[in-house]
Amino acid sequence: MNPEYNFAFLDEGSKREIRRSILKAVAVPGYQVPFGSRELPIGRGWGTGGIQLTLSLIGPRDVLKVIDQGSDDSVNAVNIKKFINLCSDVATTTDSTEATLIQTRHRIPEEPLRNDQLLVFQVPLPEPLRVIEPSEEATKLMHAEADYTGIWLQLYESIMKYGKVTIATEYPVTVEDRYVMNPSPIPKYDNPRLHESECLYLFGAGREKKIYAIPPHTKVVSLAFDDVPFEIEHMEGRRCRLCGAENVYFDELIDRETGAVSYQCSDTGYCSKRRLRKEADC
């Protein structure tokens, strides 16, 4: 650890402010709490919301895992993990069951999380209503009055045009029958994992200066019309080419020469754990 810096980079005052915003976010599930996003040695919009949440919550005994679209080894994930380790010396892992704090971009790990774990999301655009209304003042009013007609209209328009809702990621959810929330760009496959979970989910948007949360055992319902139910991606009939897993979220790989399609677990930690276990069994 570089002794020139405070533990976990941020000064204690900043951490305290962020923790206060987190407490408010937990108290009002799905509500976007504004906070004073700090300067970091990383450009805004490159995971700075998630990093600030992690830095303000991490302690010396924590075990950290960072993933980017399910992968422990992507540049973004590796660099964030290195940076946090550099200023806190906490242990890191790729095993999501060993970690106490997981920072993620665009995925929820396959293995169910426990109530002693935290999942921190990096969020590019926290406002689910931004696509229909550019003004922050207007969207705040719409949330206050629970005026979500515009977002439902988008779903209807999609059904009208394509016969189904075509949103693949950032599929909006209603939290505790009140706020409509953007679950960050996770695939809608992961949406059901937000509902009645064991662990605390925290969402941080550094550029947009917003924090929001889904506490354990919170009702989270993906938006759907009465007669057109919410559907996740179909993963049936696919197997991971490395570990043989089924019914998980896959990355699709297409061989350039032959055009053959194969699948691989998007959650690399889960995949390598399964392979290690297999080797041990042999």
Partner 1 sequence: MINKEEAVLQVRDLLLRYGNGCECCRSRQPMEKNRCPRCGTVWAVRNVSFDVYPGEVLGIVGESGSGKSSVMKSLYFDHEVTGGSAFLKQYQDGKVNVFGASSQQRRYIKNHLMGMVYQNPLLGLRMDYSSAANVAEKIIAAGNRNVAFMDGRTVELLEAVEILTSRRAEPPRNFSGGMQQRVQISKALANNPGLLLLDEVTTGLDLSVQAKVLDLIRKIRSRYNISIILVSHDLAVIRMLADRTMVMLDGQVVESGLTDQILEDPQHAYTQQLVHSLL
Binding residues vs partner 1 (CB under 8 A): 141, 145, 147, 149, 152-153, 156-157, 159-161, 225-228
Which of 47, 206, 265, 269 is labelled catalytic?
A: 265
User: What own/partner pairs with CB < 8 Å and gap ≥ 24 does 272-277 have?
Assistant: 272/94, 272/243, 273/95, 274/243, 274/244, 274/245, 275/242, 275/243
Q: How many CA atoms lie within 13 A of 218 on its CB side?
A: 28
Which of 30, 47, 70, 206 is labelled catalytic?
A: 30
Which of 70, 87, 206, 243 is labelled catalytic?
A: 243
SS3 211: strand
Q: Write down the least CB distance from residue 252 to partner 1, Å.
A: 30
Measured from the CB atom, the residue of 144 and 254 that comes closer to partner 1 is 144
Task: Report DSSP state, residue 206.
Answer: T
30 carries an active-site annotation: yes
Measured from the CB atom, the residue of 63 and 132 that comes closer to partner 1 is 132
Check: CB of residue 37 under 8 Å from CB of residue 206. yes
Measured from the CB atom, the residue of 78 and 159 that comes closer to partner 1 is 159
271 carries an active-site annotation: yes
Contacts of 48 (CB under 8 A, 6+ apart): 37, 40, 42, 204, 206, 207
240 carries an active-site annotation: yes
Q: Write down the least CB distance from residue 144 to partner 1, Å.
A: 9
Closest CA to 65 of 208, 199, 189, 250: 199
Measured from the CB atom, the residue of 7 and 152 that comes closer to partner 1 is 152
Question: Which residue type does 94 have?
Answer: T
Measured from the CB atom, the residue of 5 and 156 that comes closer to partner 1 is 156
- Euclidean distance between CA atoms 204 and 212, whole angstroms: 7
265 carries an active-site annotation: yes
Q: Write down the least CB distance from residue 30 to partner 1, Å.
A: 19
Q: Write down the least CB distance from residue 169 to partner 1, Å.
A: 22
Q: Write down the least CB distance from residue 132 to partner 1, Å.
A: 9
CB atoms within 10 A of CB 167: 14
Helix or strand run (H / E) with residue 174: strand 173-175
87 carries an active-site annotation: no
Residues with active-site annotation: 30, 240, 243, 265, 271
